[in-house]
Structure 1
Amino acid sequence: MPATTVTREVYYSPQQMFALVADVARYPDFVPNWQMVRVRPLDDTSYRTDQVVRFGPMRHTFTSTTSLQAPDRITVTSSDSPFKTLQLQWHFAVADDGGCRITLVVDFELKVRAFQAITSILSRESVVRMVDAFEHRAQDLYGPPNHASHE
């Protein structure tokens, strides 16, 4: 499956958006399909995350490794079942209007075709919904933006 890229400009700072994405422990509170997360720090800039995601009646548990390069990049990787490979690249840059340009690139390959149901959460539409969830979370935590967000 080809990589999916979603870019969005929001009127929050790159530091604010970086902090939201880095706070994986809160994902079950606002990210669709995330049910449980357990974070295990590796060092000051990386951690392992055990997580449970639900796709309809199916639940999948997997572990990922996250590398933080504040304030502009977060990389998430996994080769834990059901993934042969999984990579999420978050990039945060100052937008022309002073807000943040978020780019999320999701690339994955499944180990077994029987796990095809998981592709629904990583489809382009679902990746857009994930970015939407972070934008809404920013509004909840930081207040409404002064300018309209746009994709």
Structure 2
Amino acid sequence: MHRFDETRHLPYTPRQLFDLVADIEKYPEFLPWCLGARVGPREKTPDGEVLTADLIVGARIFRETFTSRVTLAGDDDPPRIDVDYIKGPMQKMENHWLFHAEGAGTRLEFHVAFAFRSAFLEKIMGAFFDDASRRMVAAFETRAAKLYGAAGA
């Protein structure tokens, strides 16, 4: 199973970063390899707001749809977003985001781990996994600067 963890301190509030990551419909506008996003109805639960999301990702000849259950726990301390894999080309995927208030900004913790069903995809994607994960986190950081200003607003 491939695993990637990243922690960054960013000059934005936890709410700003939470809202940015929770805005799944906008992912195709700024995330590399994200070709489309569909979000189902949101349901309030004791754990937070829950929705089902389909992300269509692709590059060159690769194109797949990933369906996940997303829990938006914006009222938790710290706020968090948990993604539970439902279906697609993976055997397993786990992903979460934590947004800790820290100083004048936020300590962002990002975690993703996955394994593909196909040995072919596992080998190909494994070679690019760390770079792709770093680019994805950087794309969120760039989007935050665009929306909230370089030093947070």
TM-score where L is the length of structure 1: 0.88
Match runs of 1:2-151 below 5 Å = 2-44=2-44, 45-71=49-75, 72-95=79-102, 97-116=103-122, 117-119=124-126, 123-145=129-151
Paired positions, count? 144
Q: Which has the higher contact order (CA 8 A, sep 6+)?
A: 1
Identity of aligned residues (%): 33
Deviation at 1:98, TM superposition (A): 1.7
CA distances 1:41-75 after superposition (whole Å, capped 9, x unpaired): 24030111112100332101121110011151000
| RMSD, aligned α-carbons | 1.6
Counterpart contact for 1:31–1:133, Cα < 8 Å: yes
Determine helix, strand or coil for the equivalent of 2:88. coil
SS at match of 1:89: strand
Q: Which stretches of structure 1, 4 residues or more, deviate above 3 A after TM superposition?
A: 117-121
Unaligned 5+ runs, structure 2: none
Cα shift at 1:79: 3.8
In 2, the alpha carbon distance for the partners of 1:126 and 1:91 equals 20
